[in-house]
Amino acid sequence: MARVHVNLAERSYDVVVESGLLGHAGAAIDQTRLSGRRAAVISDERVARLHSEGLLASLNAAGCRPSLHVIPAGEASKTMAQAEALCREMIRAGHDRRSLVVALGGGVVGDLAGFVAAIFFRGIPLVQIPTTIVAQVDSSVGGKTGVNVGEGKNLLGCFHQAQLVLVDPETLRTLPQREFCEGFAEAIKHAAIRDAAMLDELAALDPESREVPAELIARNIAIKARIVEADEHETRGIRALLNFGHTIGHGIEAAVPYGQMLHGEAIALGLRAALFLSERHCKLAPQAGLVVLGLLEKYHLPLVLEETIATATIMEKLARDKKFAAGRIRFVLLNAPGNAYVSDVVTEADLRDAIQHLRGKPG
């Protein structure tokens, strides 16, 4: 078992990483201050079919008296309408402020279920059980919840920290190959901004094996945990480091219909753009950028932007991005692997150049 403590004073919690943990989730919850609460399990159709039976049995054994609430799989479910529907389902199932929400699934489920937990009866406890790489190393930790609107991704939401995160690497074996690989964009991002040695460890993994050591997942989570501890609500500029690759990546993701491009695929393109601008503005060594690009390629992530995705559309989405402060662009650049910082030197012209750079092949 690997354990990462997220130290946020009265909002502190543990992230537990252990193979087979899903089947013991009820016991893990019972050992915390959440013991005795009813559980509303929120999942999507695909994950519920694979993993809900064992989880529900475990919760029942622990006295949590769970109800299961299933949403359609995919980004299109991250809406205010779906959040309202879930809240109403939970009310009809008899849940109240003494209940807790258990999010079982990937980033979409985690973001949506976290938002529901934040607003249901003005806020009830949340347990995250992430089942994808991107959710395990990134979105399940840090307290960001949200839903999408037509103008952009995650523009409506709030901070609502989980009270426990349970990570079972065995769930990764059930992922389609594309979804397994897309999560590594976030893992690679964490290594690039804070732990250069981890880049070599990620390179040593076999994407086809589906075996990811619990210790490596925990170390990746710890990178985000330390940043969140230093800047929980992204007011000091430290947490913004986690946005490396996300400014242009989110713009690309929002420029196509939801679900057409997976989050990690868009972030991979955003990482390539950020590396390009890092070479331009802070003299990042080209060879260092090639190491990161090689890793993205190893995990079958896209590095070339399709011509059908217009630059003007991406720029329009960027203008609404939360990373713009008082009209200025706050862009994360990389001095060297493991050393990222937030810059305000990147211009709109730079962004356009970076997007155009993505239309050519690397190398």
- Rounded percentage of the chain residues whose pLDDT exceeds 90: 89
Residue with tokens 């079972």: 168
Rounded to an integer, what distance in angstroms lies between the CA atom of residue 335 and that of residue 288?
10
DSSP sequence for 6-66: E--GGG-EEEEE-TTGGGGHHHHHHTSTTTT--EEEEEEHHHHHHHHHHHHHHHHHTT---
Residue 325 has pLDDT above 80, yes or no: no
pLDDT confidence bin for 153, thresholds 50/70/90: confident
DSSP sequence for 300-325: T---S--TTS-HHHHHHHHHT-TTEE
List, by residue number, the catalytic residues: 122, 144, 186, 224, 234, 239, 243, 246, 250, 263
Nearest to 255 by CA among 324, 360, 358, 152: 152
Residue 179 has pLDDT above 60, yes or no: yes
At 82 the pLDDT is 98
Structural domains in the chain, sorted by start: 2-174 (3.40.50.1970), 182-357 (1.20.1090.10)
For residue 74 the two structure tokens come to 């995919």
Residue 320 has pLDDT above 80, yes or no: no
Average of per-residue pLDDT values in the chain: 95
Rounded to an integer, what distance in angstroms lies between the CA atom of residue 211 and that of residue 17?
14
pLDDT confidence bin for 324, thresholds 50/70/90: low
Residue 323 has pLDDT above 70, yes or no: no
Nearest to 111 by CA among 68, 153, 81, 56: 153
Question: Are 47 and 85 within 8 A, CB to CB?
Answer: no
Q: Lowest mean pLDDT: which of 105-114, 233-242, 270-279?
A: 233-242
pLDDT tens per residue across span 37-91 = 999 999 999 999 999 999 999 999 999 999 999 999 998 999 999 999 999 999 9
Nearest to 348 by CA among 321, 219, 264, 51: 321
In a 13 Å sphere around the CA of 360, the CA atoms on its Cβ side amount to 7
Rounded to an integer, what distance in angstroms lies between the CA atom of residue 149 and that of residue 138?
22
Angstrom CA distances, 218 to 28, 79, 120, 168, stand at 17, 30, 30, 11
Q: Spell out a b/e string for 257-266, using b for 16 or more CB atoms within 10 Å of the CB, else e.
A: ebeebbbbbb
At 348 the pLDDT is 93
| Torsion angle defined by CA atoms of residues 238, 239, 240 and 244, in that order, rounded to the nearest 10 degrees | 110
| Crossing angle between the packed helical segments 184-194 and 263-282, to the nearest 10 degrees | 30
pTM over 0.85: yes
Q: What distance lies between CA 221 and its chain's CA centroid?
A: 11
Give me the mean pLDDT over the 301-312 stretch. 97
Amino acid at 97: R
333: CB partners within 8 A, 6+ apart: 274, 277, 278, 281, 282, 284, 340, 341, 342, 343, 346
Angle at 31 between CA 26 and CA 33, to 5 degrees: 105
Residue with tokens 């239309």: 359
